[in-house]
Amino acid sequence: MTLSVREAFIAALARRVDDHQGAARALLEARLAALRAESVSQPAMSSRPGGQAGTRGPLGQLADGIAARHAANEPPVTQAAGLTSASPAQRELGTLRQFRGAWSRLFAEQRLRQTLAQVPPQAGPLNSHHLVHRALAVMQDISPAYLQRFVTQVEALLWLEQQQTSVGGVPQRLDKKRKSGR
């Protein structure tokens, strides 16, 4: 039996009431009574997954469509563009997949060598460059595939940061704070 979020919240609140006394207990009991009264007065939830009632909004419909395509193992296709779906084997060649894997492995190794070059020769145990290099080296020993993905994600974040600062020279949040006088 699965509880809805609301039912689980009411059950947790009921357990907490016993742990308190005085004014805190009175407040919790009042809140618990109000929640129980609301759950009784609300209409029954529909049998849809997740216990959602009524029709779904545009975002929910989009999520349902993506989930349905994923379940059918289809790529997300824009019908307006007139694109046809292809099997995953047809979309990517095996040699391309191998090339991409080799390239990401070489790129991760190159970044690891770059971090080693940035470590000062007499770096202490808490030197930031030394710590970063040690963490990356351990990550490579434990899981080279994870290091490749990690480096790719960090590179993407750095690129996004560069794009944000190159727009006006100043990140958007800082620019707004300066204009508002904070």
Express each pLDDT in 43-93 by its tens digit: 554 444 554 555 778 888 888 888 887 777 655 554 444 445 555 555 667
Q: In the structure encoding, which two tokens stand for residue 164, read together?
A: 């944000």
Residue spans of the domains in the chain: they are 5-41, 94-170
Find the radius of gyration of the CA atoms of the chain.
27
Express each pLDDT in 3-20 by its tens digit: 678 888 888 888 888 888
Q: What pTM, to 2 d.p., does this model score?
A: 0.36
Residues 6+ apart with CB under 8 A from 85: 74, 75, 77
